[in-house]
Structures are given as structure tokens and as C-alpha cells.
Amino acid sequence: MANLPVLQFEEKILETVEQHPVAVIIGETGSGKSTQLSQILHREGYTKSGIIGVTQPRRVAAVSVARRVAQELDVCLGEEVGYAIRFEDRTSERTCIKYLTDGVLLRESLANPELNKYSVIILDEAHERSLNTDILLGLMKRLVTRRALNLKVLITSATLDGDKVSKFFSNCPVMTIPGKLYPVEIFYSHERPKSYLESSLKTALDIHTREPEGDVLIFMTGQDDIEKLVSKLEDRIRSLEEGSCMDAIILPLHGSLPPEMQVRVFSPPPPNCRRIIVATNIAETSLTVDGVVYVIDSGYVKQRQYNPSTAMYSLDVVQISKVQANQRAGRAGRTRPGKCYRLYPSTVYQDEFLDATVPEIQRSSLAGSVLYLKSLDLPDIDILKFDFLDPPSTESLEDALRQLYLIDAIDENGSITKVGRTMAELPLEPSLSRTLMEANEYGCLSQALTVAAMLSAETTLLPNRSKNTEKKRKHNHMDLPDGSGWGDHIQLLQIFEFWHQTNYSIDWCKDNGLQVRGMKFVKDVRRQLAQIMQKIAEGSLDVQTSGRWVESQQSYLKLRKALCKGYANQLAERMLHHNGYRTLGLKPQVVQVHPASVLKADEEGKLPDYVLYHELIATTRPYLRTVCAVDIKWVMPIIDKINKLNIIKLSGGIDRIQEGTEGNVSDMPKEEVVVAGVPDDSE
């Protein structure tokens, strides 16, 4: 630890921080930025006047780094050193070094715009260019002028273009910490492999059987492929002749791994044993695994991208950027000279890879962020003029405004409404916060809280709907509730209420293929959301779980109605002659209900006329995921609103929504589509 590059520059860092309100620190991954900077400033006494907050774009990094720093300082996690991620706060009165996700800091600044409890804010991993970090950069720029005397801001990055950030912060100093990276030899494939999984497998086995000791780090695109490769590697290594080479431990590493599995990558291997770590891009810069000498780089990453013109997300496996490729290679040279095997030709790297990764702000739906900015009430800020390091497109800002208008969060003048203001206080996406508010009116808040909690749990924690479990469930005659014909939201509610009736039985979860940890998390999230709603309503609300799912048709009706309000910009209408749907909006898309949905056709073979959907995602084709049947009566007023909504003019600090006649939904040609094919469920 003592020889970490950041520690060798302790004096210089302190001098820079002392003299400037903002500084950029650039250092190789693993140089000690995340774990040491906070400790250096703590030693110097910066925690006497406030907390040192260190933001991380990823939840797992916030937890892992906080754990590490607590260990180094020999304190209990949650005491002097703690972390806060959405729905999980492990800090106390005594916490003076706090790791938190960038989203949590944004939320804190809503309650306290001056962020007075912080003496130092470190925006870590800024190169990841997460949407929230980008917004924080803009907010920090304002804050440092207002708190010039008692706030220090550090922006740290492994690869960020320091000059650009420096310019953004009125030419603040940029410190580059020289990393001691050993040379890494790069090998390119002659051509793109047919299967990069097989190619990674072969390369890893070659390294294992032929190369001297040193751990192998393989970059894959997602959990599914990681699991497949881990299992194939285990089989193949087991079948190697005993004594022909050293032992090997195969370790997966991705964001959805339980914490106890994640920390395994930080323990060194036993003697005469090689670790083969199969990771997502989380190991690129967020988590540093020591001991890696060989890197296998598929050249791909899985990325969620939002297209504002179709309001559709797609989860695409895309080529990485040159910056990412170099980061990946760099992982091999931390302890000694290493080797990086790129499973693509050098011409692909040169000609096809983008220089830098596209920032998330340019590939996300901005409804949540725009609502957030509007709720800050910054008098001199027009959303279009907000100081972004890289501004989003006008198209995506307009898309966000339209979405917010349809769910009543902003009015025709583009001003935030009372409803919008309350929505912004909830740590949920706009559709769900709007649903909770409406549910409160209809007297079905308890049910809506459950659905919001179920949907907010990370997808992998949710009921495992993989084919395997489905088969197992059928085989054991296990019966999860089926949504009573209303679809997935109702099913999620029923699952939770059923579980509640079993007194939260662990065995029941296991018997039904539900992840125990995930379900417990949902229960906790639900409790927290209920508390927030209580606070907002300043009174007593009925948030008790009823547990009477069998006979609660009445509450389903109310809940579906509330959901319809919340998801006003995520509705679809069935097409005339078959079960394809067309989304309602200015640019309707022809879509299908995802086959994993519990929504099934009726006896006449028909799906409901109208549904709302939680997500519209293009895999092999555009699919609606997690859908709920709604009534035409509730949809009609929304269609009126869509028809009214023509364009949003962004002018002079006020975003105006103009009424118009173009883009009338009912004028849209009715397209037909053939329903066929099963999607690739690789995400």
C-alpha cells in the first residue's frame, strides 16, 4: 500500500488542494485515487470541518472501496468510514469519510443545495462519464463559487481529458500522477472470431498451459457469457492432466454478484495457483484486481442506449473505444510486464473503434435528470443552457420534456408542477413516483409501493425467469401467482403478497425460484419508500401489506388505474387483426409483448386492447417488457394530451409546450406485423 503512486505525491496533492478550490487528478487505475485521496485529506484535518464525500458511478465500487478504506483505517464499516447507495445507507453520526454513488449525492443536494456537511467532494471515476457525474460536474461548478472558502472539489479520473475539465472549471490545476505501468505486449487476432466466447476459452487455456505464473483477466460483455465461460473453463481445466500445469481458480466478476463473491477477487491465490478472472468492464477501471499479468480483450461491451426519436432503449453489444481498449490492456502491466491478447485485428482497433466512449448523457433518457434539474429551481438556469461538459442533444431534452408533460410533472409552460416537485423527492424513476402519488389518491398506495419496490430491485434480484427455473417450477408443480390476467405488475404484487402471507419464508422463495437476497432487498426498499411517502404526506398513510391477493380484484383495478397515470408515456394499443402493439406517442413504434410476460391472450386468442409497459427494449426486435393491461377509459384523456402535444419550444429559460394539431395519434397509419420468433434473452 505504501508504494501506491498517489501516496508518493501526498505533499504535492495537499499543496494543490490547499491553494485551489477545484483540482483535477489524473492517475492510472490502481494508483490509489479511490482509496487513498480521502485518507490523505482526512490525515490533514479536512474532516474537522465536514465530511469527505467520494462519489462513485457504480454501487459495487462504492461498497467495495468503503470496505477497503475502513479496513485500512482499522475501523468498523459504517462508523468513521461508511457508504450510501440507493436504498442502503451505512453511515452514522461518526462517519467522516463517506463513499456514495453520484445519484445519492444528487439527491442529497436536493434537500441541501449547498451540501453544507461536506468539506471535500471527490468526484471519482469521472472518466466513466456517467449521467449523474456529468450533472454533478455542472452543479459543482456553481457550488465552488458559492462555497469558495469552505469546500474543496477534486475530480479524479484514469483517462479523462484533463484539459477539457480544467477549462470547464476556469482553468483549475490538473495533476497527473505518473503511474508505474510496466510494458504490455499487445497481440492481435488475424480476424474477428466467430465466437468470442470460444476464442476467449482457447486463449485462456493456451496461456494457462504455456505461460509462466500470473493471473488472467478476461473481459466479457455480460453475466450470461461470464457464467458460460466460467463453467467451460472449469470443465476444461479439470480435464487437464494432473501435474501438467499449475492449479487454477476461476472467478466471475460483475456488478450483480453477491458481495461475498465480489471480495474473493481481492484475496491473493494460494501458491502455485493461477487465478482466471472473468469480468465485465467493471474491471476496466472501477475495481482494481492485483496480480493480473495476462488480459484477454473481446473488444466488446454491453451498453444500454436510448433513442429519443423512438423512445426506445436497446441493450447492444457494441465495440469498445480506443480508450477502453487501452485501459483493458493496462490491467496486465500493474505488477510486472504483461501481455494483452486482443481478439480482433489491429485494423479494427485503428479504423473502427471510437477514440473515446460516448458519455451516458448522450445515450440515456433524460426525463429523470430534467425533472431533477427543474426541481432545483436554480433561478438562472434554463435546462438548455445548463453547463454540461458535453451537452445532450436538443432532441433528447425535448423528449424528456414531453415525457414529463404527459405525466403532469411540468405544465404547458414547461414549469415544474406541484406533482413534479413531489415526484422529484422520491428516489424512483418518474413513472413510478407518479404512480405512487396517484395510488395515494386512489387508496392503493400499499400495493403501489410493493410494485415500485419489486421493479426497483436490480433485475437479477427479481424472480429468476430463466428457462431452467421455469422448467423446474413446472416439474415440481410449483405455482407462482399469474397476475390474474392483468399482467406482470400485478404478478409482482401478488408474489410479494404471497410471500408476506408465508411470513416471509425463505423456503418459499427457494421453492419458487426467487432469490432470497433479492426478495429481502425488495422488502427493505418497500419499507424505505413507505417512510419517504409518509414524510411527504406528513400524515399517516395506509402502507400496510394486505396479503389478500386472492380476493383483491378491487385493489388491482385501482392499482392499474394509478399505473396508467404514471406510465402515461409508456402505453401501447393492440393492432387490429393480431396481437402486435403500437406504442402511443408522437412516433409510434410497432412492438410485441415480450414472451417472458405473464400477460396471455384470452380464450379468443386476443391480448388486451391497451397495455402499459415498464420498458421498451430492442433486442432481436422491439419488445415491451413488464406489461399491465389498462382500460381504454383511462387511456383516452392521455391520447388527448398526446394529440395536444405537438412540439416543445425551448425558449428564454422557459420551456414552452405548444399546442398543435400535427402528429395526431389517431391519424397514424395502422401497421401490421407478423408475430414470430423468440427473442435472444442474452441481457
Give the interface with ligand ADP as residue ranges (CB under 6 A).
4, 27, 29-36, 64-65, 67-68, 266, 288, 290
Distance of CA 640 to the CA centre of its chain: 33
Concatenate the DSSP letters of all residues of 384-446 into one string: GGS--SSPPPHHHHHHHHHHHHHTTSB-TTS-B-HHHHHHHHSSS-HHHHHHHHHHHHHT-HH
* Closer of 259 and 677 to ligand ADP (Cβ): 259
- CA dist., res. 174 & res. 153, Å (int): 12
- Taking each continuous run of H as one helix and of E as one strand, the counts in the chain are 24, 23
At closest approach, how far in Å is the CB of 252 from ligand ADP?
17
Concatenate the DSSP letters of all residues of 99-111 into one string: EEEHHHHHHHHHH
Angstrom distances, CA of residue 648 to CA of 368, 396, 568: 17, 11, 17
* Closer of 18 and 290 to ligand ADP (Cβ): 290
CB 488 within 8 A of CB 613: no
At closest approach, how far in Å is the CB of 181 from ligand ADP?
12
* Closer of 159 and 447 to ligand ADP (Cβ): 159
At closest approach, how far in Å is the CB of 77 from ligand ADP?
11
At closest approach, how far in Å is the CB of 495 from ligand ADP?
34
* Closer of 30 and 252 to ligand ADP (Cβ): 30
For the chain, what's the residue count?
Answer: 683
* Closer of 35 and 552 to ligand ADP (Cβ): 35
* Closer of 67 and 614 to ligand ADP (Cβ): 67
3-state helix, strand, coil in the chain (%, to 5): 40, 20, 40
Angstrom distances, CA of residue 467 to CA of 28, 222, 474, 488, 596: 42, 18, 11, 17, 9
- CA dist., res. 26 & res. 213, Å (int): 31
At closest approach, how far in Å is the CB of 37 from ligand ADP?
8
For residue 44, is it left (φ>0), alpha (ψ between -120 and 50) or beta? alpha
At closest approach, how far in Å is the CB of 30 from ligand ADP?
5
- CA dist., res. 589 & res. 582, Å (int): 5
At closest approach, how far in Å is the CB of 64 from ligand ADP?
4
At closest approach, how far in Å is the CB of 456 from ligand ADP?
26
At closest approach, how far in Å is the CB of 141 from ligand ADP?
23
Residue 599's H or E segment, with its range, is none
At closest approach, how far in Å is the CB of 81 from ligand ADP?
12
* Closer of 252 and 585 to ligand ADP (Cβ): 252
* Closer of 67 and 363 to ligand ADP (Cβ): 67
C-alpha closest to that of 399 among 311, 486, 333 = 311
Enter the C-alpha cell of residue 38.
Answer: 480521502
* Closer of 269 and 547 to ligand ADP (Cβ): 269
Residue 562's H or E segment, with its range, is helix 553-566
- CA dist., res. 448 & res. 614, Å (int): 14
C-alpha closest to that of 533 among 456, 434, 455, 462 = 434
* Closer of 27 and 566 to ligand ADP (Cβ): 27
Burial 321-330 (b: 16+ CB within 10 A, else e): bebbbbbbbb
Cβ neighbors of 646 (< 8 A, separation 6 or more) are 658, 659, 660, 661, 662, 663
Q: Return the DSSP state at 183.
A: P
* Closer of 64 and 200 to ligand ADP (Cβ): 64
At closest approach, how far in Å is the CB of 36 from ligand ADP?
6
* Closer of 25 and 104 to ligand ADP (Cβ): 25
At closest approach, how far in Å is the CB of 67 from ligand ADP?
5
Distance of CA 279 to the CA centre of its chain: 17
**Residue linked to cell 400495493:** 447
- CA dist., res. 95 & res. 279, Å (int): 32
- CA dist., res. 248 & res. 234, Å (int): 9
At closest approach, how far in Å is the CB of 290 from ligand ADP?
5
* Closer of 31 and 494 to ligand ADP (Cβ): 31
* Closer of 263 and 384 to ligand ADP (Cβ): 263
- CA dist., res. 319 & res. 219, Å (int): 12
At closest approach, how far in Å is the CB of 579 from ligand ADP?
49
At closest approach, how far in Å is the CB of 280 from ligand ADP?
16
- CA dist., res. 12 & res. 672, Å (int): 66
Beta bridge partners of 318: 301
* Closer of 65 and 519 to ligand ADP (Cβ): 65
* Closer of 70 and 404 to ligand ADP (Cβ): 70
CB 217 within 8 A of CB 292: yes
**Residue linked to cell 429551481:** 377
- CA dist., res. 192 & res. 189, Å (int): 7
At closest approach, how far in Å is the CB of 267 from ligand ADP?
8
Distance of CA 190 to the CA centre of its chain: 35
